[in-house]
Amino acid sequence: MEQYAIKGGNPLVGEVEIGGAKNAALPILAASIMTDETVVIENVPDVRDINALLQAMESIGVVVEHLDRHTIKINASAIHGHVIEDDLIKKIRASYYLIGALLGKYKEAEVVLPGGCNIGSRPIDQHIKGWRALGTQVDIAHGLISAKAECLKGGHIYMDVVSVGATINVMMAAVMAEGQTIIENAAKEPHVVDLANFLNSMGANIKGAGTDVIRIKGVSRLHKTEYAIIPDQIEAGTFMFAAAVTKGDITVKNVIPKHLESISAKLMEIGCEIEESDDAVRVVASKPLRSTHVKTLPYPGFPTDMQPQIAVALAMAQGTSIVTESIFENRFRYVDELTRMGANIKVEGNTAIINGTRRYTGARLTAPDLRAGAALVLAGLAAEGFTLVDDIHFIQRGYEDFELKLQHLGAQIARVETEREIQKFKLKVG
């Protein structure tokens, strides 16, 4: 199993190019099967979750061609079924976007239901409620979820919780339904807006994405398009916090600064300097970090996907901080690992009380999930001495070339697989 070997203590300095947003690319790739014409999508990140989704799409006859590492051509005219049982797909939550896409185009879909998740239970009741409101019969049996409609008819849906996945899935199902669909209490995340823009570029009629109320007028068909995915807000935020915890100076390039506002605001509160330009944000961390309070919220609030990264910074800040996780119930599983590095964090329910410590010391760690895994790497980069992070396959689900980008900023990090490689790394970094 691959691991990251890290020798901490170097300030990270320089520029880093941010890739396309995984959580926008997943629904956009799924939605590209809603036309028989050819779709070209640019700025697709080369990460495991994306590749698993593409493989599942190929299993039903979608033709996927890589024009280059980040540009993908998709043609779904020869789809030969609406049942996806591919084993890989069970591991990614976003497999359910294929239900919305297949249902919207073919009025039926059957997809393996994703299993439990490391960050908490992930109900899909709001997705189902939305599909049913459009006239769909939804059943779950033998680990498969099936959705079938004689005819999809627009409906009025009030989401009980703000859900990215449900908003996206209902939007896809409604695009070619008869009449108008209204989604109230919709998610406003940049990736929801990106999917709406993509669908509109294919001829859909979606208004209001990015606000609480999305209005969709059904169209009879979608057509070809060429579309570039927005930059990844969370990859950018992770590198911004890498600057904070290593006392570095990093410019994240190819970003939309507006999407990073809640992250930049917290970095300023804890003592970092932020410089914004049109498509870049520079983070300079020259002063000791200060404590703060933070609560995760749907966009434009502070993202739950940045909660472990900010906690790593706060655990080395002066004073007491409180981190409240309001989206997922099981997102503090990295805390025990940080404690082993010297952090002083007490978790009570959905709240972590953090008393800042002066420094981390390197340790052997296990990545519990994608974002927490990346956060542990940041802790390793800030720590004194040597850190080894296990289970980095979680990190590879969502960060392209993570260690290469960090190396480019001056980090001493390597992907290793054997004891011999670990020893070689230790000899090299001294």
Which residues are marked as active site? 117
- Asked if 298 and 187 touch (Cβ cutoff 8 Å), the reply is yes
Binding mask 129-168 for ligand EPZ (x = CB under 6 A): --------------------------------x-xxxx--
Using CB under 6 A, pick the residue from 73, 90, 91, 93 that binds ligand EPZ: 93
Q: Cβ of 245: how many Cβ atoms within 10 Å?
A: 28
- Asked if 44 and 71 touch (Cβ cutoff 8 Å), the reply is yes
Which one, 162 or 383, has the nearer CB to ligand EPZ?
Answer: 162
Query: By rule CB under 6 A, what count of residues binds ligand EPZ?
Result: 25
Determine the Cα–Cα distance for residues 105 and 99; give it in Å rounded to an integer.
10
Using CB under 6 A, pick the residue from 41, 244, 327, 354 that binds ligand EPZ: 327
Q: Omega of the bond prior to 308 within 30 degrees of 0, cis?
A: no
Minimal distance, residue 420 CB to ligand EPZ, in Å: 33
Using CB under 6 A, pick the residue from 86, 194, 235, 305 that binds ligand EPZ: 305
Burial class from Cβ neighbours inside 10 Å (0-12, 13-18, 19+) for residue 244 reads buried
- Asked if 20 and 231 touch (Cβ cutoff 8 Å), the reply is yes
| Interaction between residue 56 and ligand EPZ (CB under 6 A) | no
| Interaction between residue 392 and ligand EPZ (CB under 6 A) | no
| Interaction between residue 123 and ligand EPZ (CB under 6 A) | yes
Using CB under 6 A, pick the residue from 95, 126, 264, 309 that binds ligand EPZ: 126
Using CB under 6 A, pick the residue from 250, 370, 376, 382 that binds ligand EPZ: 370
| Interaction between residue 26 and ligand EPZ (CB under 6 A) | yes
3-state SS record for 275-342: EECCCEEEEECCCCCECCEEEECCCCCECHHHHHHHHHHHCCCECEEEEECCCCCCCCCCHHHHHCCC
Contact set for ligand EPZ, span 185-214 (CB under 6 A): 187
Token representation of residue 278? 């049109």
Give me the amino acid identity at 43: N
Minimal distance, residue 374 CB to ligand EPZ, in Å: 9
Give me the residues that bind ligand EPZ (CB under 6 A), please: 23, 26, 93-94, 119, 122-127, 161, 163-166, 187, 303-305, 327-328, 370-371, 398
